[in-house]
């Protein structure tokens, strides 16, 4: 899960790959802004939607290739 470091004073909203990295950054930011916190960033909906689109597209391409192969076998062409 990705983690988000939020600091109100700096309007800092940076995403880190895990909690350990976020906490390391938080230690540095806390010297400037005691209100800074690390929280789970949640699911990235755009990334999830893009993955879904590509997965669906790949499935379509495979289905079209399968249909083309079946059609060429029926017609006796290569």
pLDDT digits (tens, 9 = 90+) for 12-70: 567 888 889 888 988 888 888 888 888 887 766 777 778 888 899 999 999 999 999 99
CB 18 within 8 A of CB 49: no
DSSP label at residue 73: H
How far is it, in rounded angstroms, from Cα 15 to Cα 6? 9
* pLDDT at site 29: 84
Domain residue limits, the chain: 3-75
* pLDDT at site 32: 81
* pLDDT at site 12: 59
* pLDDT at site 77: 65
């Amino acid at each position: 899960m990705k983690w988000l470091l939020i600091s109100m004073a700096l309007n800092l909203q940076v995403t880190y790959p895990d909690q350990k990295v976020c906490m390391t950054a938080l230690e540095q930011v806390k010297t400037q802004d005691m209100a800074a916190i690390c929280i789970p960033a949640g699911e990235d909906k755009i990334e999830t939607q893009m993955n879904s689109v590509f997965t669906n597209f790949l499935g379509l391409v495979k289905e079209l290739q399968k249909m083309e192969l079946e059609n060429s076998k029926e017609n006796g062409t290569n």
